[in-house]
Structure formats: structure tokens, C-alpha cells
């Protein structure tokens, strides 16, 4: 396993992602797999290149976090609470076969095979900032498609006001679930207009490769203006519901983690400030931006709301 990296590591000390990946493939003794339709990988295979991915025309003018740091410095409590636990333990996750159930207040419920789901819409690169509630951040080139594409096909009824996202619960594959750190399975939720927003992504890859297990394979949610824990990983169920779902972190610590979980530097976590953050690979802290820098695109969703009360 690659060594764990400190958030204070300098960019000049980081192996470029292309060199690192080629060296890893050589050591494993296998080459990258070419995927005609952009899907299919197992934990045992080398990362597979995704083909036909549309480049991000609105990528921020910021340095992307190296692949190595994105894949070795993670929060994924299903594999342990340490930042290096997911990379060390996620090989146990089997991503084929895999299904995602779409159910609840919809006219067209369906259980999607992951490979059929990945053909639902053209894959796009989306270079998004990710801000962790603990105070570190990354810039990640995700690959995926808008959640809105799946929502439209499900045909929500008038009772569908929220979406509930449920992650895999399988302690045999996910050793972190053998401890009651959270009330498993991991559950997250979005309001319907948040879920339909064009920035909300179902991600299946990063850096042009199939999503690694430790980053939420085979499919995960990405909501760039919210704290990272809002983006549920290894999804198995998306349920359309009338009331706000009881999310995993709200159940564990309701005074610390609200339903909306928008990046708001003016609302401090009870145990630390959110005013500053440390970008992985940078030496100094930077100011945290409202809505993680996406205010122009999403602030209208919360017009008239008290964002200190609805945190």
C-alpha cells in the first residue's frame, strides 16, 4: 500500500499521478484495461481507463490534487476511521455483481444493474472541489453523470420531496461496519431541488479511471457545495421520500451535523472553526469559501433560509 501522506506535504514532493499509476501497474504485472463503454472493474484489477469521457469545459483554474493523495487519504468509515484505512482494506469490496435500486415515490421504480446504469448517460469529467468537515480539501477530477438524468427516468410523483441514499451494508466486505461507529447502513439525503441541480453528480471514476474501491466504487454521490460526508459512497439504494431522511451523521451527532451540511465558514463545528481549510499539497491554510466556492450556482436554492439554523 502507498504510504500515508500528511496534509502538509509540498506539491514538489508528490509523485505525479501518471508516473505513479504506471509504476503501480508495472509492479502488479498487468496493464490498464480499455473499456469500450466506460464500465467494469474489480478490486483485484489494475485501474481501468474510462473512454469517451467528455472533458470539463468549466474546470476551475486550480491545481488538481494528485491521484495518489485522493486514493490514499480518505474518509470511508465502512473500512475504518483512519485516513489510510480505506486504501489498506478496500480490496475486500466486490463491485461486480452490483445493483442500485431506485424506489419509493416514483412511477418507474427499477433495480439497475451497475453496467446498465453506467450506460444511462454520456460520462463527463467534472473537476470539483471537495471540502471535508475536518478542515482539509482537495480538487478532484470526477467522472460521472448528473443525478438529474436518473431522476427524470424514475418519474417522481408529487410525494417525492427528498431523496434518500443508502450505501452497502456488508460487514464481511466492509470491516469497519463490525464496529458501531455509526448506525449502519450509511444513509444520506438531499432535497429534490438539490438532487436535480446540474452540479450534483453520480460519480463512477476519477482521473479518467474507474472509481477505486476506497473512493466509493462502483458508484457514489458527489455534491460539491456540501461537506464531503454528504456524498454517500458505494450506493445500493436511492429512495424517493416525502420527509427528510434520517442521515447517518445526524443520527450519530445531531448537534454537529445538520441535514443540509452546506459549506458555511460562518457556522463553526462545535469542536473547531470552519473558517479556514488546508488544501492537500499546500503548506498554508486558506479561507473557506461559502458553499465551497459554488455560491453563484447554488445560493438561490436557500434564499430566505436561516443557514445558521438549517446547517
Distance CA 204, CA 50 (A): 9
**pTM greater than the 0.75 cutoff:** yes
- Does the pLDDT at position 9 exceed 50? no
Q: What is the mean pLDDT of the chain?
A: 88
Task: Please choose, from the candidates 54, 34, 36, the residue with its C-alpha nearest in 3D space to the C-alpha of residue 125.
Answer: 54
pLDDT average, residue stretch 143-158: 98
pLDDT score for 46: 61
Show me where the domains of the chain are located: 11-302
Buried b (16+ CB within 10 A) or exposed e, 126-143: bbbbbbbbbbbbbbbbbb
- Does the pLDDT at position 8 exceed 50? no
Buried b (16+ CB within 10 A) or exposed e, 267-286: bebeeeebeebbbbbbeeee
pLDDT in tens, 24-38: 433 333 233 333 333
Distance CA 110, CA 107 (A): 10
pLDDT score for 38: 38
* CATH assignment of 11-302, among 3.90.420.10, 3.20.20.10, 3.20.20.140, 1.10.1060.10: 3.90.420.10
pLDDT score for 47: 72
Pull the grid cell for residue 176: 469497519
- Does the pLDDT at position 94 exceed 50? yes
pLDDT in tens, 183-234: 999 999 999 999 999 999 999 999 999 999 999 999 999 999 999 999 999 9
pLDDT in tens, 58-77: 999 999 999 999 999 999 99
Distance CA 269, CA 34 (A): 44
pLDDT in tens, 41-52: 443 456 799 989
Q: What is the 3-state secondary structure (H, E, C) of the chain?
A: CCCCCCCCCCHHHCCCHHHHHHHHHHHHCCCCCEECCCCCCCCCCCCCEECCCECCCCCCCCCCCCHHHHHHCCCCHHHCCCCCHHHHHHHHCCCCCCEEEEEECECCCEEEEHHHHCCCCCCEEEEEEEECCCCEEEEEEEEEEEHHHHHHHHCECCCCCEEEEEECCCCCCCHHHHCCCCCCCCEEEEEHHHHHCCCCEEEEEECCEECCHHHCCCCEEECCCEEHHHCCCCEEEEEEECCCCCCHHHHHCCCCCCCCCECCCCCCECCECCCEEEECCCCCCEECCHHHHCHHHHHHHHCCCCCCCCC
pLDDT score for 18: 47
Q: Are 141 and 56 in contact (CB under 8 A)?
A: yes
Amino acid at each position: 500500500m502507498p504510504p500515508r501522506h500528511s496534509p502538509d506535504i509540498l506539491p514538489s514532493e508528490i509523485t505525479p499521478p501518471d508516473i505513479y499509476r504506471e509504476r503501480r501497474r508495472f509492479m502488479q504485472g498487468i496493464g490498464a484495461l480499455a473499456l469500450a463503454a466506460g464500465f467494469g472493474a474489480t478490486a483485484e484489477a489494475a485501474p481501468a481507463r474510462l473512454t469517451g469521457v467528455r472533458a470539463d469545459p468549466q474546470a476551475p483554474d486550480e491545481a488538481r490534487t494528485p491521484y495518489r493523495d485522493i486514493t490514499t487519504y480518505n474518509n470511508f468509515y465502512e473500512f475504518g476511521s483512519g485516513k489510510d484505512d480505506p486504501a489498506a482494506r478496500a480490496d475486500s469490496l466486490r463491485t461486480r455483481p452490483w445493483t442500485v435500486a431506485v424506489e419509493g415515490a416514483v412511477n418507474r421504480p427499477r433495480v439497475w444493474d451497475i453496467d446498465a446504469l453506467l450506460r444511462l448517460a454520456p460520462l463527463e469529467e467534472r473537476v470539483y472541489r471537495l471540502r471535508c468537515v475536518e478542515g482539509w480539501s482537495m480538487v478532484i477530477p470526477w467522472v460521472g453523470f448528473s443525478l438529474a438524468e436518473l431522476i427524470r427516468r424514475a418519474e417522481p410523483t408529487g410525494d417525492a420531496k427528498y431523496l434518500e441514499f443508502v450505501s452497502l451494508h456488508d460487514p464481511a466486505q466492509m470491516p469497519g461496519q463490525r464496529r458501531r461507529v455509526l448506525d449502519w447502513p450509511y444513509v444520506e439525503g438531499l432535497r429534490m431541488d438539490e438532487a436535480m441541480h446540474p452540479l450534483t453528480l453520480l460519480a463512477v471514476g476519477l482521473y479518467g479511471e474507474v472509481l477505486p474501491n476506497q473512493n466509493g466504487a462502483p458508484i457514489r454521490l458527489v455534491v460539491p457545495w456540501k461537506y464531503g460526508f454528504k456524498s454517500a459512497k458505494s450506493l445500493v439504494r436511492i429512495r424517493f421520500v416525502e420527509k427528510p431522511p434520517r442521515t447517518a451523521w445526524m443520527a450519530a451527532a445531531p448537534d454537529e451535523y445538520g441535514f443540509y451540511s452546506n459549506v458555511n465558514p460562518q457556522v463553526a463545528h462545535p469542536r473547531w472553526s470552519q473558517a479556514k481549510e488546508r488544501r492537500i499539497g499546500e503548506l498554508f491554510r486558506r479561507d473557506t469559501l461559502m458553499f465551497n466556492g459554488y455560491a453563484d450556482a447554488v445560493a438561490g436554492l436557500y434564499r430566505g433560509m436561516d443557514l445558521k439554523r438549517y446547517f
